[in-house]
């Protein structure tokens, strides 16, 4: 079963840095997804299509994080996915 977005970030961060991440690590990941999706709205202002796009990208990012894929590679892959959604 795929971990949640936050759990994937936490697990990878703890494995690599041997400590819990600060809150800004989670915020930065979420903002990166919104930026790559080219969405600059608050969550309650999103259309269903935009929300689905962010959700899909978060699921893919969670899988990539869980698989140990580095940030640069994740960004490249997420850019392709964002263009296709």
Read off the pLDDT of each residue in 22-46 and give the average, rounded to a whole number: 93
pTM of the predicted model, to two decimals?
A: 0.87
Decide if 21 contacts 10 (C-beta within 8 A).
yes
Number of structural domains the chain divides into = 1
Reduced to 3 states, what is the DSSP secondary structure of residue 36?
Answer: helix
Decide if 62 contacts 5 (C-beta within 8 A).
yes
pLDDT score, position 43: 81
Residue 52 sits in which domain range? 5-84
pLDDT digits (tens, 9 = 90+) for 38-70: 999 988 899 999 999 999 999 999 999 999 999
What is the band of 1 on the pLDDT scale with cuts at 50, 70, 90? confident
């Amino acid at each position: 079963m795929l971990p949640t977005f936050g759990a994937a970030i936490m697990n990878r961060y703890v494995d690599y840095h041997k400590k819990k991440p600060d809150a800004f690590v989670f915020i930065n990941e979420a903002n990166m997804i919104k930026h790559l999706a080219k969405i600059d709205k608050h969550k309650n202002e999103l259309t269903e299509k935009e929300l689905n796009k962010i959700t899909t990208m978060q699921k893919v990012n969670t899988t990539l994080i869980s698989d140990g894929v580095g940030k640069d590679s994740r960004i490249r892959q997420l850019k392709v996915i964002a263009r296709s959604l």
